[in-house]
């Protein structure tokens, strides 16, 4: 079995570095209360959402899940990411979207079952695109209006129904900063279970247009030399960080040659 406990965007870890056990789960649930639990038989994942993390007993600590993503093996990250995604899905899938009846857990599948109309609801993921645009050795970073700590990050957005990922990238870039791009290249992807995103990352090159911001969403956008980035950029553990770091690495290797 693999035991996971979460509080919002944090994972609960034992201070001694050992994995959580069934006893830990019971102790945490009693001390903090639980918002949700879920058990998946096929993976052996057991997850628990804590209600009141201020009551965390000695010997445990909260740790941002996105840091965990950059500190653990691919297998461990997959498991923790799935545990968090299942917990979010379970907590947001209580009633049948077709008939409104209260759902139950399916006996064998990772699915919720409607006892009235037999509707089966599987965990959903929400694809998002994220992109880093290059122009003459510089990269475009933008500050979102909702970001209060002045962070400059990559443009990103949810895919619309019916779109390909490439179409979503072009649409988001044009909507948010009014530029046309070319030479889209797939960079990688990351599960981002806050609550259910799949981040699909691309790089692209500037093609044409003048920067013109969609001011309801973008407070500022500018071209930055990767070796002179703004003070606050996306933290380690996110695919945005990996996209920017790849540009930094390429710039520093070409400047040292």
- Tell me: does residue 114 bind Zn ion (CB under 5 A): yes
Q: Which stretch binds Zn ion (CB under 5 A): 4-12, 31-39, 77-85, 116-124?
A: 116-124
Q: Which is nearer to Zn ion, 117 or 145 (CB)?
A: 117
Residues 182-211, interacting with Zn ion (CB under 5 A):
none
Shortest spacing between CB 51 and Zn ion, in angstroms = 28
- Tell me: does residue 93 bind Zn ion (CB under 5 A): no
- Tell me: does residue 99 bind Zn ion (CB under 5 A): yes
Q: Which is nearer to Zn ion, 26 or 117 (CB)?
A: 117
Residues in contact with Zn ion, total (CB under 5 A)? Answer: 8
Q: Which of 14, 72, 94, 98 binds Zn ion (CB under 5 A)?
A: 98
Q: Which of 119, 189, 214, 245 binds Zn ion (CB under 5 A)?
A: 119
Q: Which is nearer to Zn ion, 116 or 249 (CB)?
A: 116
- Tell me: does residue 120 bind Zn ion (CB under 5 A): no
Shortest spacing between CB 49 and Zn ion, in angstroms = 25
Q: Which is nearer to Zn ion, 18 or 116 (CB)?
A: 116
Terminal CA-CA length for the chain = 50
Q: Which residues bind Zn ion (CB under 5 A)?
A: 96, 98-99, 101, 114, 116-117, 119
């Amino acid at each position: 079995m693999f035991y996971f406990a979460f509080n919002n965007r944090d994972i609960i870890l034992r201070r001694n570095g050992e994995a959580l056990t069934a006893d830990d789960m019971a102790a945490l649930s009693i001390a903090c209360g639980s918002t949700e639990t879920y058990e998946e038989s096929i993976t052996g994942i057991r997850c628990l959402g804590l209600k009141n993390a201020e009551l965390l007993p000695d010997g445990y600590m909260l740790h941002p899940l996105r840091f965990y993503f950059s500190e653990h093996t691919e297998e461990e990250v997959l498991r923790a990411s799935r545990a968090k995604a299942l917990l979010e899905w379970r907590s947001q899938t209580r009633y049948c979207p077709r008939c409104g009846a209260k759902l139950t857990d399916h006996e064998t599948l990772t699915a919720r079952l409607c006892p009235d109309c037999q509707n089966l609801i599987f965990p959903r993921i929400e694809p998002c695109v994220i992109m880093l645009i290059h122009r003459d050795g510089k990269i475009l970073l933008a500050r979102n209006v909702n970001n209060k700590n002045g962070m400059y990050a990559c443009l990103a957005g949810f895919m619309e129904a019916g779109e390909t990922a490439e179409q979503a990238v072009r649409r988001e870039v044009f909507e948010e900063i009014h530029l046309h791009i070319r030479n889209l290249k797939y960079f990688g992807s990351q599960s981002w279970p806050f609550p259910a995103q799949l981040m699909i990352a691309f790089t692209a090159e500037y093609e044409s247009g003048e920067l013109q911001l969609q001011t309801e969403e973008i407070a500022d956008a500018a071209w930055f030399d990767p070796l002179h980035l703004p003070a606050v950029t996306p933290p380690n553990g996110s695919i945005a960080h990996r996209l920017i770091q790849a540009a930094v690495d390429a710039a520093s290797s070409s400047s040292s040659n």
